[in-house]
Amino acid sequence: MQTPAPFDYERATSLDGAIQALDRLGSDARVIAGGHSLLPMMKLRLAKPSHLVDINDLHELEYIREQDGQIRIGALTRHVDLQRSDLLARHFPLFRDAENVIADPPVRNRGTIGGSLCQADAAEDLSSVCSAVKAQVVIRGTGGERVVDMSDFHVGPYTTAVGAGEILTEVRLPLRPGGGSAHEKVERRAGDWAIAAASAALWMEGGTISNAGVALSSVGLTTIHLTRAEELLGGKPPSDDLFSQAAAIASEDSSPMPDGRGPVDYKRHLAGVLTGRALRRAAARAINQEA
Amino acid sequence: MNVSMTVNGEQVSHDVEPRQLLVHFIRETLGLKGTHWGCDTSNCGACVVLMDGRPVKSCTVLAAMCEGHEIRTVESLERNGRLDPIQEGFHEKHGLQCGFCTPGMLMTTRALLDENPDPSEEEIRTAISGAICRCTGYKNIVAAVRWAAEHEEVAR
Amino acid sequence: MSVVEERPIGFGRLKRKEDERFIRGKGNYLDDLELPGMVHGAVLRSPYAHAKILSIDTSRALAHPGVAAVVTAKDLETLGLAWMPTISYDTQAVLAGDKVRFQGQEVAFVIATDEYTANDALELIDVEYEPLPAIVNARKALDPDAPLIRDDKADQVDNTASPTWEAGDQAAADKAFAEADTVVSRDIIYPRCHPAPLETCGIIADFNPETGQLDIYNGNQAPHAHRTVYAHVAGLAEHMIRIKTGDIGGGFGNKVPIYPGYVCAIAGSIVAGVPVKWVENRSENLMSTGFARDYVMKAEMCAKDGRITGLRVDTIADHGAFDSTAQPTRFPAGFFHIVCGSYDLAAAHVKVKAVYTNKAPGGVAYRCSFRVTEAVYLVERMVDALAMEMDTDPIDLRMRSFIAPEQFPYETTTGWTYDSGNYAETMRVAMEMAGYEDLRREQAEKRARGELMGIGVSFFTEGVGAGPRKHMDILGLSMNDGADLRVHPSGKATVSISAQTQGQGHETTFAQIVAEELGIPPEDVEVRHGDTDKSPYGLGTYGSRSTPVSGGAVAVVSRKVRDKARLIAATMLETTPDDLAWEKGRWYVKGDPEKGAMIEEIAERAYSGDPMPEGMEGGLDGQTIYDPPNLTYPYGAYIAVVDIDPDTAEVKVRRFIAVDDCGVRINPMVVDGQIHGGLAEGIGIALMEVITFDEEGNCLNSSFMDYLIPTALETPDFELGETVTPCPHHPLGAKGVGESPNVGSPPAIVNAVIDALHESHGVDHLDMPCTPARVWAAMQGRPEPPQ
């Protein structure tokens, strides 16, 4: 079996301790939480960190709660807990949509939201989910805490705003009335990464869309924020035609690469189809919510 | 480094390399060969064990990360010479052929029944969707889990 | 009498004996075994598909703590082990010395204290390569400017791997086509796929320098044949080699061949004098061990007066860099010429040429009897194409063209003698189970609403159970199997067989055969296998041959023992053998049924101090080597129902109806299990399992992230039915079934997908796998072949 190269391991007992360790060890050190992105890469020897800082004991980072008009999710929250959270499903049902199709149940028992976001794989579902609901993430380093919008979080392929010596600690989802959301994914087989996936969130006010969030997975080098589609949707009443226009934008604004999952034109096509579907379901949910 | 954990109800403590995978700790350090492995990429599920009651892929967990945790492997299912209903179910319904995926399947479905004593076919299929069986086509595994669900009370 | 009737013996849904250890996690697989002093091997593999090796520097690896040795081709040359023979009379590099010919080819073998250290050392071997252009497309392998892959072979001038092989009558086929009223043609690819058993391949070689004994622990499907080959390869005496298989975590053909890693481990143990373990990882398994299929086929089929009359096939077989295709010696394209299928054709002609490419060698049968799978896929796709052209129902065309029951035994135009069958009856059972007419109605309604539903049919006939020694051998070894049966003084029995289970349940079903024949409980029969020192010679388990060949052997040896028991019983009962009649477990006096002897009593007598019949030795045992008079020909009717998402092109197999006729079923539970497993693998091949390469020859499916295997969510709740047409020449009337579902299901699914898309999207052909992307491309009018 493939095995990781040697490394040093340290188990953090406090968040500050973890941050200090990362700061001390430098860029060759990596945080390990669920380990389901990092360990397979280490086994394939595509990643060879010299140090791992294990944050699994930092239970203070494991929560989903409502606070200050936000849903706040600790970075160490496992996929399975996101999937099962009724609080989350009530306000942001797209999380459950996504979690039902992210990897498989044993993987979901270990993998964390923080790990998924920080891996910043363009094929990863939670990045587009968090983008669509206009989440903010809290990043903490030796210099203190900062809050970053999801729109600024992805810096490039596999790179995020989280710097050396920093840890993503929390995801914040602003609560606004009249919201509905949905996530749609097509995969080659259960448990596979998406061929394409679309996340959509709509907020309704008096029969019109007051705010919209749309993002795509797997159809570009990074998660794609469909700002053109969001602008189109804002201030208009929901309609099939409107969603079809937004879907067309999704196809245009995606920039997929051809690979074993499919050619470019198919992925563009899917980006449109799934955006349309996600918007229609999000609207239906928003209208239910509003009613 | 030293790592201590509970495995099948017993406290164990060993010196390990930080990079040792849990599956190797179980198989080689502890000599419990019932837990298998079948891939390098967390896809096949042959290595599933329970960590604090939840199925995890032991090829994608470091032994070091299990400090203070509770691990259960297939060897724990039979108690006092009495098979767990899930073991009986796999035998009764021909839920195994080559037997290689069986320990992972048994632990996955044991955990399912602990949480959901009366799972539907769809729930069973979803629960085992992280594990590959090359022999059975899953039909008899589903039947085995249903058998166990129906015989759980009687057996205990 | 009542005693006899109460005994639960013989055939039936007996729960498996072997489960006891597996459900407790007490199986004994290769990697579970640890021997004192054992060291671990790891293989360095080529990152290039085709490259000259300029230099190999092992010094950094050798200096790494814990590394005992690093073996390269140079070291093997001194032992005469740098090249090894393949199963098809080609040669294969054990470790590449001159150049590498496929990505993943073995370049060096590290021996270290443990697996982690051995893996570390692989990164410390410095190999300098000079990349060469690679050929990964069989159709381009014979281009005049194609690079020569096998420049190691003296007479090799191009990439032809073996002379063109033909079957059937070309002139007669041409005549059938000239007289036909409908002709269709298709280019059909059966893409490369991989058996990928859940347990990868591995070995422990343990050479004892004092005794000269070599013990090999290796989960393989043909231990006796392996031993013979090792004796030739390593120059060791065959009787000093012992192979123990232990439990095998699935084989499906992947564990038939001998791989370079095995030879490296054996060489390592001979040199080092300690046991050497090597277990491949999943990438190694997918990139370098026995693949399956990879047939590029051009086919034409014709009809006259509403019946199928002729078939012409021109095929290129892609063997990869070395020809290690598994098939009987005289059949270089395996049983591919069974391609006439279940139909009474006037004529057929089949042509197969084989090429080398820069891909892994193999060509093993993935749950398939030597290319029967490719043949069945081809003919069943062509029948559907023909039905489409004739605008007739695909089942109607099959029904009109089937070989009729009264034509059996039936000689096909390509040289097979089918044993028995009633095809139309089996087809009718499947139609009834499926509710075929209702499905067609539902489909019409859905079509009207723009929904895509497909119904696909296949009807396969397989030739399995190779085979008669007058027709077939592998590497000069007859394809027969032995059985030794000993009934002990207490009446319990041990039967030793040469078939090798990889999950098929032999410990149960072979006990049932003895039980049925001797009338003793199956739990009183122990089945021994998987140890060349303790089992009779035979060629192992693949090609669905366990029941047809080893099953025949066990039945025959049981009857020999029963006949001996009759003579002993006559002595015991003071009568003549002719005066005795047999019932479950007992010889009794005709006309006086109360007077008889149970098999246990006869066994006790056979070992006692009491006299035996005149001239007979004591004991109650026997042995045999079974030479099957013919292959057996199981068949079946499969119907798949698929739904396709019109927007995303995802294919869902909603229902799968499989009606198999495999003759008499020894353990119907085990038979059902075999069918379930084969259907899941067939669905995998039809929808997702494929090994592809990019232009440079990089393997694109080298882990389970990209070699996709169906999970419980892609496999439907299979619906099984059966008809029973006994095999007339098999002692039990059984035909073998392990591979039928994998053979029969892919064409049913592909036919269903095309059926769903034909009317709305004009799709009349699509190659596997039917992934969402490929189905979508077909819907856009681009049914592209796989890479």
Query: Which residues of B fall within a CB distance of 8 Å from A189?
Result: none
Instruction: List, for residues C53-99, the tens digit of each pLDDT value.
Output: 999 999 999 999 999 999 999 999 999 999 999 999 999 999 999 99
Distance from the C263 Cα atom to the nearest Cα atom in chain A, whole angstroms: 19
Percentage, residues of chain A above pLDDT 90: 98
d(CA C371, CA C366): 9
Torsion of CA A182, A187, A193, A198, to 10 degrees: -30
* pLDDT, average across residues C269-291: 97
Task: Look at residues C481, C517, C514, C479 and name the one whose alpha carbon lies nearest to residue C499.
Answer: C481
d(CA A260, CA C754): 22
Q: Residue B155 above 90 pLDDT?
A: no
What would the two tokens of residue C246 be? 């232990």
Cβ B44 vs Cβ B103: under 8 Å: no
Distance from the A99 Cα atom to the nearest Cα atom in chain B, whole angstroms: 12
Q: Could you give the C-alpha distances from C274 to C33, C38, C214, C223, C265, in angstroms and in order?
A: 15, 6, 11, 22, 10
Biggest CA–CA distance in chain A, Å, is: 60
Which of the residues C500, C681, C739, C774 is marked catalytic? Answer: C739
Chain A nearest-CA residue for C40:
A1
Task: Look at residues C459, C292, C252 and name the one whose alpha carbon lies nearest to residue C376.
Answer: C459
Non-local CB neighbours of C592 within 8 Å, separated by 6+ positions: none
Chains A, C: CB contacts under 8 A, how many? 58
* Res. C234 pLDDT band, cuts 50 70 90: confident
d(CA B6, CA B87): 22
Judged by a CB distance cut-off of 8 A, whether residue A52 touches chain B is yes
Judged by a CB distance cut-off of 8 A, whether residue A11 touches chain B is yes
The helix or strand, by DSSP H or E, that contains position C452, with its residue range, turns out to be strand C452-461
* Residues B108, A105: C-beta atoms closer than 8 Å: yes
Percentage, residues of chain C above pLDDT 70: 99
d(CA C521, CA C8): 6
* Residues C712, B129: C-beta atoms closer than 8 Å: yes
Does the annotation count C368 as an active-site position? yes
What values do phi and psi take at A286, rounded to 5? -65, -40
Looking at residue A291, its pLDDT comes to 54
Looking at residue C2, its pLDDT comes to 36
* Residues B57, A107: C-beta atoms closer than 8 Å: yes
Mean pLDDT over each residue of chain C, to the nearest integer: 96
Write the DSSP symbol of residue C727. -
Rg of the Cα atoms in chain C: 27
Q: Residue B154 above 70 pLDDT?
A: no
Instruction: List, for residues C140-189, the tens digit of each pLDDT value.
Output: 999 999 999 999 999 999 999 999 999 999 999 999 999 999 999 999 99
d(CA A269, CA C124): 46
Q: Is cis: bond before A106, omega within 30 of 0? A: no
Task: Look at residues B55, B59, B74, B66 and name the one whose alpha carbon lies nearest to residue B5.
Answer: B66
Chain A nearest-CA residue for C200:
A1
d(CA B64, CA C713): 33
Q: Residue C6 above 70 pLDDT?
A: no
Non-local CB neighbours of C45 within 8 Å, separated by 6+ positions: C103, C104, C105, C106, C107, C284, C287, C288
Looking at residue C5, its pLDDT comes to 46
Judged by a CB distance cut-off of 8 A, whether residue C448 touches chain B is no
Please identify which residue in the block is written with the tokens 């700061």.
A23
Instruction: List, for residues B54-68, the tens digit of each pLDDT value.
Output: 999 999 999 999 999
Looking at residue C8, its pLDDT comes to 52
HEC states along A132-170?
Answer: HCCCEEEEEECCEEEEEEHHHHEEECCEECCCCCCEEEE
One-character DSSP codes across C87-139: TTS-EEESS-SSEE-STT-EEEEEEESSHHHHHHHHTT-EEEEEE------GG
* pLDDT, average across residues A68-90: 98
Amino acid at A129: V
What would the two tokens of residue C232 be? 């030739």
Cβ C366 vs Cβ C193: under 8 Å: yes
Q: Residue A113 above 50 pLDDT?
A: yes
* Residues A56, B65: C-beta atoms closer than 8 Å: yes
Q: Is cis: bond before C769, omega within 30 of 0? A: yes
Instruction: List, for residues A228-239, the tens digit of each pLDDT value.
Output: 999 999 999 999
What is the crossing angle of helices C552-572 and C599-607, to 10°?
Answer: 70
d(CA C320, CA C356): 5
Task: Look at residues A93, A160, A166 and name the one whose alpha carbon lies nearest to residue A124.
Answer: A160
Instruction: List, for residues C647-697, the tens digit of each pLDDT value.
Output: 999 999 999 999 999 999 999 999 999 999 999 999 999 999 999 999 999
What would the two tokens of residue C258 be? 């001998």
Amino acid at C184: V
Non-local CB neighbours of A209 within 8 Å, separated by 6+ positions: A202, A203, A233, A234, A235, A236, A237, A238, A283
Q: Residue C1 above 80 pLDDT?
A: no
Judged by a CB distance cut-off of 8 A, whether residue C503 touches chain B is yes
* Res. C364 pLDDT band, cuts 50 70 90: confident
Q: Residue C424 above 80 pLDDT?
A: yes
Cβ C18 vs Cβ C82: under 8 Å: no
Judged by a CB distance cut-off of 8 A, whether residue A155 touches chain B is no
Neighbours of chain B (3+ CB pairs under 8 A): A, C
What is the crossing angle of helices C772-779 and C740-761, to 10°?
Answer: 40
Instruction: List, for residues C733-778, the tens digit of each pLDDT value.
Output: 999 999 999 999 999 999 999 999 999 999 999 999 999 999 999 9
Looking at residue C456, its pLDDT comes to 98
Looking at residue C785, its pLDDT comes to 82
d(CA B27, CA C39): 17
* pLDDT, average across residues C4-9: 50
What would the two tokens of residue C184 be? 């269709």
Distance from the A236 Cα atom to the nearest Cα atom in chain B, whole angstroms: 39
Strands in C620-626's sheet, in edge-to-edge order, are C525-528, C493-497, C481-487, C620-626
Distance from the A5 Cα atom to the nearest Cα atom in chain B, whole angstroms: 7
* pLDDT, average across residues B105-123: 98
Question: Is residue A13 exposed (0-12), middle (13-18) or buried (19+ Cβ within 10 Å)?
Answer: exposed
* Residues B62, A80: C-beta atoms closer than 8 Å: no
Rg of the Cα atoms in chain A: 19
* Residues B130, A44: C-beta atoms closer than 8 Å: no
HEC states along C509-561?
Answer: HHHHHHHHHHCCCHHHEEEECCECCCCCCECCCCCCCHHHHHHHHHHHHHHHH
Cβ C127 vs Cβ C53: under 8 Å: yes
Distance from the B17 Cα atom to the nearest Cα atom in chain C, whole angstroms: 10
Looking at residue A197, its pLDDT comes to 98
Q: Any alpha helices (H) in C6-68, and if so which ranges? A: 19-22, 59-63
Mean pLDDT over each residue of chain A, to the nearest integer: 96
Rg of the Cα atoms in chain B: 15
ipTM for the whole complex: 0.98
Chains A, B: CB contacts under 8 A, how many? 92
Q: Residue C4 above 90 pLDDT?
A: no
Instruction: List, for residues A7-64, the tens digit of each pLDDT value.
Output: 999 999 999 999 999 999 998 999 999 999 999 999 999 999 999 999 999 999 999 9
Does the annotation count C221 as an active-site position? yes
Q: Which of residues 684-743 of C touch A (CB under 8 A)?
A: 688, 692, 700-701, 705-706, 708, 710-711, 713-714
CA triplet C227, C102, C252: central angle to 5 degrees?
A: 45
